[in-house]
Amino acid sequence: MRFIAADFGAGSGRVMVGTICTGDTLPCANTGTNIKLEEIHRFGNEQRMIDGHLRWDFEALFNELKTGLKKAFAKYGDEIKSIGIDTWGVDYGLLDKDGRLISNPVCYRDDRTKGMMDKAFQRLPKEEFFQHAANQFMEINTAFQLMSETDLQCAERLLFMPDLFNYFLTGKCYNEFTIASTSQLLNSLTHEWDDVVFEKLNLPKRLMQKIVYPGTVIGRLTDELAEEVGGNANVVAVGSHDTASAVGSISDTSDDWAFISSGTWSLMGTPTKEPIISKEALESDFTNEGMTDGRIRFLKNITGLWLIQQLVKEWEQEGYKCDYSELVKEAEQSSLSSSFDVDDARFMNPERMSQAIVSYLEEKNEQLPVTKGDFMRCICISLAKKYAEVKEQMERCTNKKINKIYIVGGGSKNQLLNSLAAEYTGCEVIRGEVEATAMGNILVQLEIEKLRI
C-alpha cells in the first residue's frame, strides 16, 4: 500500500510517498509502523508582494502539487490508495459565489493585522475571548486577519490553506478540525464555530464550512484533474495543520513528555485531554489546538528556524554559500554566550535579520556576534533558553512534570540545538522523525485504509 503526503511549509514544500512494507524495513522512529518515506518532489515556497500585500502564489503551489502527483502516479499508479494535504496554520483563501479564488491568500507575515488585536479587545475583552477560543493571542491569527480583510463583501466561502488545496483537488468544501483550531474562531470546548467571537468581532460566520475530523474522506480527484495527473485516489482529511501531523508521528503513551515541532516556527507543547483555559495559560500565552486523535495540543508558538533561514538568505544574497551542517560545526567552535528573546517583535520580518539581532544585543549590553558561527550559536542558545522557559510554564499550567522532549522536523538534525535544549531544560531530548509531518499525515491515511480492508 502506498499513500501520498503533500506537506506545504512556509519555506518549502514536498510531495512524499509512504509505502507500507512487510519485513524489509525497520520500524520508523516512535511509530512502530513499517513506513518507508520517499521524496517524490520538493519545491520552494516564497511570499511575494502583490497588490500591496505579502501573498502566497497559490497557482504556483498548486502546480507544484500537480507535478508531484504526476510523478507519484507515473511511478506507482493504482498502488496509491489516498492523498493527504497539510500546511502551516491560520492563512486562508476566499471563494466567490462561482467557486473561484478571489485573490492569492495573504501571508500571515503581512503587516495588515497591526493594531487589530487591540481593536478586537475593545469589542471582546481578552479574558472573555480566551474563554471562548483558547488560542495564543498573536496578530497573525485568522480572526485578526479577517478583521483587516478587504474581500469579505464578495466572498462566499473561507477555506484554510489545506482546505483550499483539497477543494481544488476534489471540488468539495470543508474546514478540517486541526487547522480550524488555529484560527481563534473555534470554540475550544465544543469544537464548533463560536457565535460570540463572530458576533462581537463583526465577522461573517456564513463564510465558514462544515468541520470534519482527521480520517474523513473528502472525495476523489475531479475527472479533469485525474486525467491531467495520470491517476486517481481518495483525498482524505489528515492532521491538516502540519504540527498536528508532526505530533501524530509520536506514539509515546506516557504522560510525561512534551514535543517541539522544529521548523520555521518552534511549536512546543504537550498533549492534554481537554483544553486548558486557566488564567495562567492565558498570561503565559499558550494555545489549545487539535490533535489527530481528538485530544488537544497545549502549546506555545515560538519563533524558530526562521531566524536562521533569514540569516542564510541574507548571507547568500551577499555571495556566501551556506551549508547548515557547516554552520552548526562553526557554532560548536564559537565561545559566544549571548542570547536574545526570540519572540521579540523585531524578529517577525526584519529587513536584515543580522542587524535586528545585533541591535537587540547592543540594547542589552551583550557580547555581539561576529562570525557566522557566532550568530548560529547565539540563536541556538536563545532557542534553548526559550524552550526551558516554556517547559516551566507548561508544567505549572498542566500540573505535571515533563521529563522527555521529542524534537521532530527539520530542527531535529541540529545536534547543537538538541544538546543545548537538553542542558537548559534538564530533560531527555529524543530526536524524532525529520519528516514527522509526512509520517503523521500518512499514519492517518493508513488507519482509514485499515478500516476499509
**Average confidence (pLDDT) over 98-104:** 97
**Residue 323: Cβ within 10 Å count:** 10
pLDDT tens track for 16-51? 999 998 755 444 444 445 899 999 999 999 899 999
DSSP 244: H
Grid coordinates of 451: 478500516
pLDDT tens track for 121-139? 999 999 999 999 999 999 9
pLDDT tens track for 2-19? 999 999 998 899 999 999
Q: Are 152 and 233 in contact (CB under 8 A)?
A: no
- Left, alpha or beta for 21 (phi > 0: left; psi -120 to 50: alpha)? beta
**Average confidence (pLDDT) over 241-254:** 94
pTM: 0.89
Give the distance between the most distant pair of CA atoms in the chain. Answer: 64
Q: What is the DSSP string of 90-123?
A: S-EEEE-TTS-B-SPPBPTTSGGGTTHHHHHHHH
Element (H, E) at 290: strand 287-290
Q: What angle do CA 449, 66, 290 make, to 5 degrees?
A: 50
Answer whether CATH 3.30.420.40 is correct for domain 252-432: yes
**What class is the 2-243+437-452 domain?**
alpha beta
Q: Are 376 and 401 in contact (CB under 8 A)?
A: no
Of 421, 340, 423, 347, give the one whose Cα is nearest residue 374. Answer: 340
- Intrachain domains 2-243+437-452 and 252-432 with the same fold: yes
Grid coordinates of 82: 489516498
**Residue 338: Cβ within 10 Å count:** 18
pLDDT at 383 over 80: yes
Cβ contacts of residue 442 below 8 Å, gap of 6+?
Answer: 3, 5, 16, 18, 35, 37, 84
Q: What is the pLDDT of residue 27?
A: 45
Q: Are 204 and 198 in contact (CB under 8 A)?
A: yes
Domains of the chain, residue spans: 2-243+437-452, 252-432
Grid coordinates of 23: 519485513
CA distance 233 to 244: 23
CA distance 408 to 434: 6
DSSP 255: S
What is the per-residue burial (b if ≥16 Cβ within 10 Å, else e) of 139-164? bbbbbbbbbbbeeeeebbbbbbbbbb
- Residue 2 has φ and ψ, to the nearest 5°, of -130, 145
CA distance 264 to 290: 20
Can you give the length of the chain in residues? 453
Task: Indicate if the alpha-carbon torsion angle 386, 359, 352, 336 is positive or negative.
Answer: negative
CA distance 136 to 224: 41
Give the catalytic positions in this structure.
242
**Residue 123: Cβ within 10 Å count:** 13
Q: How confident is the model at residue 415 (pLDDT cuts 50, 70, 90)?
A: very high
Q: How confident is the model at residue 393 (pLDDT cuts 50, 70, 90)?
A: very high
Least confident of 20-24, 69-73, 236-240, 345-349: 20-24
In 9-111, DSSP assigns E strands to 12-20, 35-44, 48-50, 53-55, 80-86, 92-95
Residue indicated by cell numbers 471563494: 95
Number of H helices, E strands in the chain: 16, 18
Q: Are 83 and 169 in contact (CB under 8 A)?
A: yes
